[in-house]
Amino acid sequence: MSIKELFDTMEYGPAPESAAEALAWLVDQGDRFGHFIDGAFTAPGDGFDSRNPATGEVLATLTQATQADVEAAVAAARKAQPKWAALGGAGRARYLYAIARLMQKHSRLFAVLETLDNGKPIRESRDIDIPLAQRHFYYHAGMAQLMESELPDAEPLGVCGQIIPWNFPLLMLAWKVAPALAMGNTVVLKPAEFTSLTALLFADICQQAGLPKGVVNIVTGDGAVGEMIVAADVDKIAFTGSTAVGRHIREATAGRGLELTLELGGKSAYVVFDDADIDSAIEGLVDAIWFNQGQVCCAGSRLLVQEGIADRFYTKLRARMDGLRLGNPLDKCIDVGAVVDPVQLQTIERMVASNTAGQVHHAACALPENGCYYPPTLITGLSTSDPLMQEEIFGPVLVSTTFRTPAEAVELANNTRYGLAATVWTENVNLALDIAPKLVAGVVWVNATNLFDAAAGFGGVRESGFGREGGWEGLAAYTRPKGKRKALARIEPTMGHGAPVDPIDRTAKLYVGGKQARPDGGYSRPVWGKSGLLGHVGLANRKDVRNAVEAAAGASGWAKTTGHLRAQILYYIGENLSARAAEFTHRIDAMTGKRSGAKEVEASIQRLFTAAAWADKYDGQVHGVPIRGVALAMKEPVGVIGALCADEAPLLGLVSVMAPAIAMGNRVVLAASEPYPLAATDFYQILDTSDVPAGVVNILTGSHAELARPLASHLNVDAVWSFSSTDLSAEIETAAAGNLKRSWVNNATSLDWSVDHSKRFLQAATEIKNIWVPYGE
Ligand code: NAI
Q: Which residues participate in catalysis according to the annotation? A: 263
Residue 740 DSSP label: T
How far apart CA 645 and CA 607 sit, in angstroms, is: 15
Residue whose CA lies nearest to ligand 1 atom number 35: 242
Could you tell me the distance, in angstroms and rounded to a whole number, from the CA of residue 206 to the centre of ligand 1? 26
Distance CA 364, CA 121 (A): 19
The verdict on the CB of residue 214 being under 6 Å from ligand 1 is no
Radius of gyration of the chain measured on its C-alpha atoms? 28
3-class DSSP assignment, residue 15: coil
Distances (CA, A) of 342 to 43, 117, 228: 29, 13, 26
The reported pLDDT for the residue numbered 503 is 67
Domains 37-263+472-479 and 267-455 share a fold: no
Claim: this prediction has a pTM higher than 0.90: yes
d(CA 524, CA 508): 9
Atom of ligand 1 nearest to the CA of 392: 34
Atom 14, ligand 1: which residue's CA is nearest?
A: 223
State if residue 193 touches ligand 1 by the CB under 6 angstroms criterion: yes
- The response to whether residue 167 sits with its C-beta less than 6 Å from ligand 1 reads yes
Q: Which residues pair with 458 in a beta bridge?
A: 469
The DSSP secondary-structure symbol of 437 reads G
Q: Angle at Cα 165 formed by Cα 337 and Cα 478, nearest 5°?
A: 135
Task: For ligand 1, say whether the CB of 245 is within 6 Å of any of its atoms.
Answer: yes
**Predicted pLDDT at 3:** 77
CATH of domain 267-455: 3.40.309.10
Please tell me if the CB atom of residue 114 comes closer than 6 angstroms to any atom of ligand 1: no
Residues 6+ apart with CB under 8 A from 202: 103, 170, 173, 177, 216, 218
- Look at ligand 1, atom 42, and give the residue with the nearest C-alpha: 241
- Each domain of the chain, given as residue ranges in start order, spans 37-263+472-479, 267-455, 510-621+634-767
Residue minimizing CA distance to atom 38 of ligand 1: 241
Q: Which pLDDT does position 501 carry in this prediction?
A: 66
Q: Does the beta carbon of 222 lie inside 6 Å of ligand 1?
A: yes
Which ligand 1 atom lies nearest to the CA of residue 248?
A: 18
190 lines ligand 1 (CB under 6 A): yes
Question: CB of 124 closer than 6 A to ligand 1?
Answer: no
Q: Assign 3-class secondary structure to 176-217.
A: HHHHHHHCCCEEEEECCCCCCHHHHHHHHHHHHCCCCCCCEE
CATH architecture of 37-263+472-479: 3-Layer(aba) Sandwich (3.40)
**Nearest 5°: CA angle at 517, between 700 and 553?**
65
Q: How far is CA 398 from the centre of its chain?
A: 24
Nearest-CA neighbor of 48 among 37, 36, 59? Answer: 59
Measured in angstroms, how far is the CA atom of residue 245 from the centroid of ligand 1? 6
| Pairing status of strand 377-380 against strand 359-362 | antiparallel
Residue 65 Cβ contacting ligand 1 at under 6 Å: no
CA dist., res. 425 & res. 446, Å (int): 6
Q: Compute, in angstroms, the gap from residue 307 CA to the centroid of ligand 1.
A: 36
Please, are residues 376 and 324 in contact by the beta-carbon 8 Å criterion?
Answer: yes
Atom of ligand 1 nearest to the CA of 252: 19
Whole-number Å distance, alpha carbon 263 to ligand 1 midpoint, is 11
Residue (of 310, 629, 714) closest to 451 by Cα position? 629
Q: Quick check: 330 and 112 in contact, CB under 8 A?
A: yes
Q: Residue 319 burial (CB < 10 Å; 0-12/13-18/19+)?
A: exposed
**Contact 159/234 with Cβ under 8 angstroms?**
yes
What is the reported pLDDT for 100? 98
**CA-closest candidate to residue 205, choices 289, 291, 125, 96:** 96
Q: Which of 117, 164, 239, 245 to mutate to test the pocket of ligand 1 (most atoms within 8 A of CB)?
A: 245
* Distance (Å) of CA 610 to CA 536, 580, 757, 766: 32, 19, 10, 16
Compute the C-alpha angle 275/280/285, nearest 5°.
Answer: 105
Atom of ligand 1 nearest to the CA of 222: 11
Q: Helices 652-663 and 678-688: crossing angle, nearest 10°?
A: 40
Phi, psi of 569 (to 5 degrees): -70, -40
Q: Which residues in the chain show pLDDT less than 70?
A: 1, 499, 501-505
Predicted-complex ipTM score? 0.96
3-state SS, residue 327 = coil
pLDDT in tens, 617-675: 999 999 998 888 999 999 999 999 999 999 999 999 999 999 999 999 999 999 999 99
Looking at the domain 510-621+634-767, which fold is it?
Answer: Aldehyde Dehydrogenase; Chain A, domain 1 (3.40.605)
pLDDT at 1: 66
